[in-house]
Chains A and B, each alone.
Chain A
């Protein structure tokens, strides 16, 4: 492996650990009744922010309550992140191309699966509503945006990565760059 690759992969592996300690994603909500805004933070192992208040409000439209224990992700995710970080560091340290490619593929799969899971999760909460809910707007669903802004009744929902998410995106970018670089090297050598 190229020495630059090794350094970048090492950095990517180390940066991934940040996602263990700070929130990965955030959903910012505003409404006329909440000029001060409400926040929901998604960590690797929990939810934080105004969870209780958001749950209280969601009962009007029949949305399920958000509870940490309902998500297997919050148990598994920290281990996956640790594993990804360690393999990255190891690949950089032992200078084994096989391990590096394994890391890149593992990371890519993880990314795809996470994005799909997150989407399904948002879809489920936005669509799977209690039929006895007090407020029912025909044809209305409440799926928050995965990224970006969406108006949901009186609430504006703004969904963006948080610090941990940016760290993971950074690591993914490094993984992509190093992968392309290494593939090119390979071609040259042949």
Chain B
């Protein structure tokens, strides 16, 4: 009896011991003063902006750091019914492509423009993965200023990464495809023979920011994943991670994971740019759209271009080299000094760190391990600075602080690991909730990282927030990295899927903010700068309504004589010249979005009447005390009726006949 009791007691104790070994939960990971560190009192401002990609939402979101407050969602590649972006006549051209109008995009990576390898806060570049495009956002207005389509490319993933003085933005293709000027109606199984990779170098005008494709590098058919510009000692070079060097065209999860090592492609872009200047490029037919928004005309134009300059990488000498990198590398990240290049093999059990000076020496001494498709392959050991042993599972991306440390995200083991770039020793590791993709250190991709904060962008949230049905938010996790140990401060849900982000000191951006658009500078084709000039003009079945809004009326707010079969265009100028005073505009039953019109702006909305009768219209943005009075009526008569065209507001409104 006693013996049995003892046995039971031991068994119970044993269970208790195992229960005590249960892994720590998330709440254990937060220390006492975390709340204080992220508390930004009402009315106070955050120290940093985080420009965060929206992934499959196609947009860019802006958060304040350290509070994690969502400040704004910026429409870039997807239509936005909230503002009318991509619905209004004047912004529709922004989403034009060589395939016609594409209402949606997949936005992954962001790059703030740089001067001398540091953020200058002028522009934000954004990639679109699905229908290859690169956008430029103006950070004085937080609006999309330009979208450039990338031809000969598919899955614009290795993009947009900028050179240290924003000379170029690059766009490397994820999918290799046949070039447009070649026979493209070919068997998919002829991938290895007929498909090509393309790395596009987009020149950025240093004054206006205007983008133009300078040249494309045509390469063997592999997948380009990510890239980074060289800086400091490696300035003038670009590093692209590649996978599928197996050249598989089906079941890539298996067939593109066979080789022990893929490559990081090192490109001497200064030399390539020089060759283009010397006229070594080959003009190749390719259709692509270039969409530009004009902030005075408050309108976008879309131009279809039909030619690019191509350099075939196989014809070049001293421009491109392969660095072998285990295994299917995702991130290829360059440390602040420019000397160390970190390859993060998704399926590798270690992190190789390559030395730029060793690479240059090997190139000089022509120490190659043969070639791959005609491109010299460097010897792994020769160019290796060292390996981080057992860092974690599934390394994806690495960013840096100013003290010689690197921070790598691990998707599979769901953690962030801090290690020293020179000594390659792991210093700290912290769990993430769950499965981090990218991570961002403030200024972590520049010559002078600001450090202080790190944000891990997580793919899975499961139990982190109140449940919202099968579809859950993705999340951001903020760490304080000012000490030796990383300290988890906060996590917050995000819009869409956050891939990469740029965390920028607010001081670089705040002073440049525009408050209104000067109405005197408005050159919109249909602008009306004075209420007396508002009018309705019929031309066949096209009706143009030249309209104004000002607190708190629409002019004209009574319109008669619209007929079924008409196409009505409302051209609305917001006459306000006061900060934070947009007016909205919506028409009942319009098969279209609303418009949000900022002070001094003109916007055009199309409406095709669907019913005979009285149709209300009103201001949708609570603009002032009499917002609910800001409304009007449109009388729609049957097709062919002779209701006269009459309109006006107040005394000028149409009177009884």
Interface residues of chain A, those whose CB is within 8 Å of chain B, are 36, 52-53, 56, 59-60, 134-135
Additional A-B contacts beyond A53-B577, A56-B550, A60-B626 (14; CB < 8 A): A36-B579, A52-B577, A53-B578, A56-B551, A56-B576, A56-B578, A59-B551, A60-B551, A60-B624, A60-B625, A134-B552, A134-B625, A134-B626, A135-B625
Whole-angstrom distance between the Cβ of A73 and the nearest chain B Cβ: 26
Complexed CA–CA distance, A60 and B629 (Å): 12
Q: Inside 8 A of A52's CB, which chain B residues have their CB?
A: 577
Complexed CA–CA distance, A36 and B579 (Å): 10
Q: Inside 8 A of A60's CB, which chain B residues have their CB?
A: 551, 624-626
Q: Is the interface of B mostly helix, strand, loop or mixed?
A: loop
Complexed CA–CA distance, A53 and B576 (Å): 8
Complexed CA–CA distance, A36 and B629 (Å): 27
Q: Inside 8 A of B552's CB, which chain A residues have their CB?
A: 134
Q: Inside 8 A of B624's CB, which chain A residues have their CB?
A: 60
Q: Inside 8 A of B550's CB, which chain A residues have their CB?
A: 56
Q: Mark B531-561, 1 if CB is under 8 A from A, else 0.
A: 0000000000000000000111000000000
A–B Cβ pairs within 8 angstroms, 6 of them: A53-B578, A56-B550, A56-B551, A59-B551, A60-B551, A60-B626
Q: Inside 8 A of A59's CB, which chain B residues have their CB?
A: 551
Q: Inside 8 A of A36's CB, which chain B residues have their CB?
A: 579
Complexed CA–CA distance, A52 and B579 (Å): 12
Whole-angstrom distance between the Cβ of A179 and the nearest chain B Cβ: 47
Within 8 A of A (CB), among B26-46: none
Complexed CA–CA distance, A53 and B629 (Å): 20
Residue of A whose beta carbon sits closest to that of B577: A52
Q: Inside 8 A of A135's CB, which chain B residues have their CB?
A: 625
Residue of B whose beta carbon sits closest to that of A57: B551
Q: Mark B599-626, 1 if CB is under 8 A from A, else 0.
A: 0000000000000000000000000111
Whole-angstrom distance between the Cβ of B651 and the nearest chain A Cβ: 11
Complexed CA–CA distance, A128 and B550 (Å): 24
Within 8 A of A (CB), among B277-318: none
Within 8 A of A (CB), among B485-506: none
Complexed CA–CA distance, A162 and B108 (Å): 54
Q: Inside 8 A of A134's CB, which chain B residues have their CB?
A: 552, 625-626, 629
Complexed CA–CA distance, A26 and B625 (Å): 27
Interface residues of chain B, those whose CB is within 8 Å of chain A, are 550-552, 576-579, 624-626, 629
Complexed CA–CA distance, A91 and B577 (Å): 49
Complexed CA–CA distance, A59 and B550 (Å): 11
Residue of A whose beta carbon sits closest to that of B551: A56
Residue of B whose beta carbon sits closest to that of A134: B626
Whole-angstrom distance between the Cβ of B321 and the nearest chain A Cβ: 56
Q: Inside 8 A of B578's CB, which chain A residues have their CB?
A: 53, 56
Complexed CA–CA distance, A60 and B626 (Å): 9
Residue of B whose beta carbon sits closest to that of A59: B551
Whole-angstrom distance between the Cβ of B460 and the nearest chain A Cβ: 41
The winner among B552, B578, B624 for most chain A CB atoms within 10 A is B578
Complexed CA–CA distance, A40 and B199 (Å): 57
Complexed CA–CA distance, A36 and B580 (Å): 12
Whole-angstrom distance between the Cβ of A58 and the nearest chain B Cβ: 11
Which A-B residue pairs are the 10 nearest by beta carbons? A53-B578, A134-B626, A52-B577, A56-B551, A60-B625, A56-B578, A53-B577, A56-B550, A135-B625, A60-B626
Complexed CA–CA distance, A135 and B577 (Å): 22
Complexed CA–CA distance, A36 and B626 (Å): 22
Complexed CA–CA distance, A52 and B625 (Å): 18
Complexed CA–CA distance, A53 and B578 (Å): 6
Complexed CA–CA distance, A35 and B163 (Å): 41
Residue of A whose beta carbon sits closest to that of B550: A56
Whole-angstrom distance between the Cβ of B157 and the nearest chain A Cβ: 43
Complexed CA–CA distance, A52 and B624 (Å): 16
Whole-angstrom distance between the Cβ of A135 and the nearest chain B Cβ: 7
Complexed CA–CA distance, A59 and B577 (Å): 15
Whole-angstrom distance between the Cβ of B13 and the nearest chain A Cβ: 64
Complexed CA–CA distance, A57 and B550 (Å): 11
Q: Inside 8 A of A53's CB, which chain B residues have their CB?
A: 577-578
Q: Inside 8 A of B551's CB, which chain A residues have their CB?
A: 56, 59-60
Residue of A whose beta carbon sits closest to that of B578: A53
Residue of B whose beta carbon sits closest to that of A154: B625
Q: Inside 8 A of B579's CB, which chain A residues have their CB?
A: 36
Whole-angstrom distance between the Cβ of B213 and the nearest chain A Cβ: 43
Complexed CA–CA distance, A135 and B626 (Å): 9
Q: Inside 8 A of B576's CB, which chain A residues have their CB?
A: 56
Complexed CA–CA distance, A36 and B550 (Å): 21
The winner among A36, A53, A56 for most chain B CB atoms within 10 A is A56
Whole-angstrom distance between the Cβ of A176 and the nearest chain B Cβ: 43
Whole-angstrom distance between the Cβ of A130 and the nearest chain B Cβ: 13
Whole-angstrom distance between the Cβ of B528 and the nearest chain A Cβ: 17
Whole-angstrom distance between the Cβ of A150 and the nearest chain B Cβ: 21
Residue of B whose beta carbon sits closest to that of A135: B625
Whole-angstrom distance between the Cβ of A36 and the nearest chain B Cβ: 7
Complexed CA–CA distance, A56 and B583 (Å): 15
Q: Inside 8 A of A56's CB, which chain B residues have their CB?
A: 550-551, 576, 578
Complexed CA–CA distance, A180 and B74 (Å): 69
Residue of B whose beta carbon sits closest to that of A38: B578
Complexed CA–CA distance, A15 and B629 (Å): 52
Q: Inside 8 A of B626's CB, which chain A residues have their CB?
A: 60, 134
Complexed CA–CA distance, A59 and B626 (Å): 11
Complexed CA–CA distance, A56 and B531 (Å): 14
Whole-angstrom distance between the Cβ of A157 and the nearest chain B Cβ: 18
Whole-angstrom distance between the Cβ of A55 and the nearest chain B Cβ: 11
Whole-angstrom distance between the Cβ of A65 and the nearest chain B Cβ: 13
Complexed CA–CA distance, A48 and B525 (Å): 31
Residue of A whose beta carbon sits closest to that of B625: A60
Complexed CA–CA distance, A76 and B603 (Å): 44
Q: Inside 8 A of B577's CB, which chain A residues have their CB?
A: 52-53
Whole-angstrom distance between the Cβ of B201 and the nearest chain A Cβ: 44
Whole-angstrom distance between the Cβ of A67 and the nearest chain B Cβ: 15
Complexed CA–CA distance, A134 and B630 (Å): 12
Complexed CA–CA distance, A59 and B650 (Å): 15
Residue of B whose beta carbon sits closest to that of A52: B577
Whole-angstrom distance between the Cβ of B7 and the nearest chain A Cβ: 74
Residue of B whose beta carbon sits closest to that of A35: B43
Whole-angstrom distance between the Cβ of B630 and the nearest chain A Cβ: 11
Complexed CA–CA distance, A126 and B578 (Å): 23
Residue of A whose beta carbon sits closest to that of B580: A33
Complexed CA–CA distance, A134 and B625 (Å): 10
Whole-angstrom distance between the Cβ of A22 and the nearest chain B Cβ: 24
Complexed CA–CA distance, A52 and B576 (Å): 9
Whole-angstrom distance between the Cβ of B582 and the nearest chain A Cβ: 14
Complexed CA–CA distance, A60 and B550 (Å): 12
Residue of B whose beta carbon sits closest to that of A56: B551
Residue of B whose beta carbon sits closest to that of A36: B579
Whole-angstrom distance between the Cβ of B576 and the nearest chain A Cβ: 7
Whole-angstrom distance between the Cβ of B518 and the nearest chain A Cβ: 12
Complexed CA–CA distance, A135 and B629 (Å): 13
